[in-house]
Structure formats: structure tokens, C-alpha cells
Amino acid sequence: MKVDLSRYVNRHGGKARRLLWEVVWRLFAATTPRWMLQGWRRFLLRLFGAKIGGGVQIHGGAHVWMPPHLEVGENSWVGRDANLYCVAPIKIGANAVVSEGAFICTAEHDISSVKFELKTAPISIGDMAWIGAGAMILPGRKIGEGAVVAAYSVVTHDVEPWTVVAGNPARFVKKRRVEDLRPDLSVVILTQNEELHLGRCLEKLKPLNAKEIIVVDSGSTDATERIAKEMGARFVYNQWPGTQAKQFNWALDNAGINGKWILRLDADEYLLPDLVEEIKDALCLREPDFDGVVFKRRHIVGWLGDTWVKRGMYPVKMLRLFRKGKGRSNLREMDEHIVVDGKVVEFANDFVDHSLISKKEWIEKHRAYAKREAVQWATGDWGNKAFYYRMPGCFRAAFYWFIRMFVKGAVLEGPKAWSWCWNHALRYRWLCDREIAKIEKMRRRKTK
């Protein structure tokens, strides 16, 4: 079929204004030295309607189609021969780079029409993104925050934040990692005789590059203090006040915490590498719009061969990271948690509770926990266990075990998970109920 190209329609409007802009830019900007008169070029763009942030550097050899359709965030850079074809709006975030010869194209022609009618769609480029030399961004695409588009790539789909893409069409290559970020973060670790766990916890924290790590100890007689100091942590002593909640709040008030953010850990816990990167990205690469962060906790049982009990247990969600001055621990005997005054978000990645103690030590530890939980029960502050405690005492432990095993699926994980549920979901709950029964018996005696 013969196509009459005379029917081609060019719907670009505002030709007189664009002509004036072209003349002004070519005469008064394109001829300016590369590293000089950045403020002058910003002035000209703003004069013709562009929204240009402070510190923006746009090379005189760059091409801007229509300034009113252009928005560039603070401290971004546009290189020589970059073509910002803003027939539709182009938004470039702060601290972003558009390299030499890149083509940011908001318009294309409809090849399904004999008139080749113009189709337009806006393009957005996120903060801290980098568009490589000669790369082409097609209409309507979104380049996520921190993303990198390799040189001479052609972007036909949206690019996820903090990813690297390359090729024609551009495809995912890898996640982008930023080295040597140092969050304004203090890590607080509560200890008492934790030589078995503390070294591992501190080693796992090294990639986080926190501002400081504070070990708050309540009278260790083992090597806890030596390990803390050898690995660069600040060691602080406070006599045990009776509960972890009181000890942590004491640390908030008296340990001289310097970080803008506070991360609370136990010595037998540690961060997984993906969570470390997520924390660094969230605290270093932008100003957070939240005050607290919930993490998902994995439970790995040392006396079961370092088994991760996933079904029936995971994930346990706990708030562990918060802005200084915004959070405190509630004062409970057991199941204490941090309460934050402000917006709380949840991160995607996990931290780990991985105790290395023996089964015998674990049982003795949970006997003490059972006594504390019974005291907590006696106060009437049942928290999220209110439904559980309203059930008959002779039935509820077995019911809880059944839920963990069969409803949440621990039965599918094999004998190690069965053993864990027997001890943690049934035996421990029986211990708690036995201590509660003792308190009830004492109460009945007093009322007689």
C-alpha cells in the first residue's frame, strides 16, 4: 500500500515561543564555558518557565525542548548533548545525573496511523538516579530512585529503584549497592554473661557501619566486657533493675546515646545482610518520613542443630529501630516492646534470634520466663494474650500447640520442628500455667 506522507501531522504547538527559546539558549547559554556561569544558565531556564533547584548544573550544549515542561531537583547534573525532549513533562529528581548524549524522549509517533500522529507521555527520573551516556528513555517511563541506566541502553519499561539495567531493551542486571554509607545510628545491646553470643552479634554489625555500639551490661562475670571492648563497642554498666524494659529505658536516659536513630538488639540476635543494606539505604540516602521500623524475626534453634523453625513461628514482627526521642519500652515483665510516638513502617528483610545455649540451659531459662509471665498475668496486663488467658487453663496450652503444629503448618517441617513446638508451644505454656495456678492458689488462701 502506498502511503501519502503529505498527510503527516506535526502537532507541536507554541512554535514562536520555542523559536525564541532556541535563539536565547544558543546565543547566551550554549556558548558559555562548561564549568562557568551555571547560575546564569539556571536563570535563563527559570526565566522561560522551568523549575530548577539550587545547585543544578546544566551544560550549555544540552538541548531543552520546552522549559515550562522541565523540573530538575537540587544538585542534579545534565551533560553536554543531552536531549531533554520535553514535549510532555520531564521531572528529574535531586542529586541525579543525565550523562552526555542521553535522550529523554516524551513523544513518539503512532505507527498504526497513516498520519503518524504524535503521542506524548511524561517521564520521571528519581532522586540519585544515573542515566548513562547515550541512553534513551522512551515516553511514559519511570526511573526509580537510585537506579542506574547503563550507557547506550534503551529503556522501554519502568526501572525499579536501586537497580542497574542495561541493553536494548534495557534489562535488570543487579541491585545497586552503595558502599561506605554511615547511618547516624546507635546500636544498644543488653547483656549479662553473653560471651557465647556477643562476638557474633558485633561481627554481623560491622557492615552496618553504625555511629556507635553501646553494650549495656548488668554484671557479667564472663568475658562479655573484654569482647565488647576488643570489638570497638562502648561498655556501660548498670545494676540489673529487674526487667529488660527498665534496663533499656535506663540506657535511653543515661548511656549517652549520640545517634539520631537507635537500634535495639539482644546479644543472641543479629542482622541479615539484606536488612543491613535496607537500614543503610533508608537512613542515609534520604530523610526518612517515619519514626519507627518493624522488623521480621527468624527463630533459629541452636540445640536443634541450628534449625530455622519457619512454619508455625515465622515471622515474629518486632519494632527495633526508632528515631531518638520518639520511642521507649513499655514496662512489662514479659513481652515488652518499644512504643513509638509517630509513623511506623515495616521493612522487608529479617533479623535472627539464634541462641547457641544447650537444651538444658534453654529449659532452665524458660522456667524463669514462666515465673515472670505468671507475675505479668497477675497484673491483668495480658496484652495480645487476652484471648489465650480467657480459655480454660487445662485446655489452652494444648490448643496453642495444635494451632502452631497444624494450623500454621509446623507439622510439615519434620521432627525438629515437632520437637520445638512440643517444648516451646506446649511445655513452656504448661510451665506458665503451673506458675499461674500457684498464684491463684495463694489468692484463694488469702481470701479465706
Fold adopted by 5-175: UDP N-Acetylglucosamine Acyltransferase; domain 1 (2.160.10)
Q: What are the backbone dihedrals phi and psi of residue 183, each rounded to the nearest 5 degrees, phi first? A: -70, 150
| pLDDT band for position 10 (cuts 50, 70, 90) | low
- In the predicted structure, residue 421 carries a pLDDT above the cut 50: yes
| pLDDT band for position 380 (cuts 50, 70, 90) | confident
pLDDT score at 31: 83
Locate 96 and state its grid cell.
541525579
The answer regarding whether domain 185-355 maps to CATH 3.90.550.10 reads yes
Locate 22 and state its grid cell.
532556541
Q: What is the mean pLDDT of residues 241-267?
A: 96
Question: What is the rounded CA–CA span in Å between residue 227 and residue 213?
Answer: 13
- In the predicted structure, residue 2 carries a pLDDT above the cut 70: no
Q: What is the mean pLDDT of residues 270-291?
A: 91
Cβ distance 198 to 269 under 8 Å?
Answer: no
Residues with catalytic annotation? 109
Cβ distance 261 to 323 under 8 Å?
Answer: yes
Query: Do strands 51-52 and 90-92 pair parallel, antiparallel, or not at all (unpaired)?
Result: unpaired
By percentage, how much of the chain surpasses pLDDT 70?
96
Calculate the CA dihedral of residues 73, 78, 83, 85 and round it to 10 degrees. 10
Domain parsing of the chain, residue ranges: 5-175, 185-355, 360-439
Cβ distance 220 to 192 under 8 Å?
Answer: yes
Locate 174 and state its grid cell.
543487579
State pTM to two decimals. 0.74
Query: Quick one: which of 173, 153, 151 has its CA closest to 163?
Result: 173
- CB atoms inside a 10 Å sphere around CB 196: 18
| pLDDT band for position 80 (cuts 50, 70, 90) | very high
Mean of the per-residue pLDDT values for the chain? 91
Cβ distance 311 to 417 under 8 Å?
Answer: yes
Question: What is the rounded CA–CA span in Å between residue 122 and residue 99?
Answer: 19
pLDDT score at 1: 45
Cβ distance 161 to 155 under 8 Å?
Answer: no
Half-sphere exposure of 114 (CA within 13 A, CB side): 7
In terms of DSSP H, where are the helices of 239-331? Answer: 244-254, 273-284
* Maximum mean pLDDT: which of 194-203, 310-319, 395-404: 194-203
238 DSSP assignment: -
Question: What is the rounded CA–CA span in Å between residue 212 and residue 352?
Answer: 21
pLDDT score at 442: 87
- In the predicted structure, residue 9 carries a pLDDT above the cut 80: no
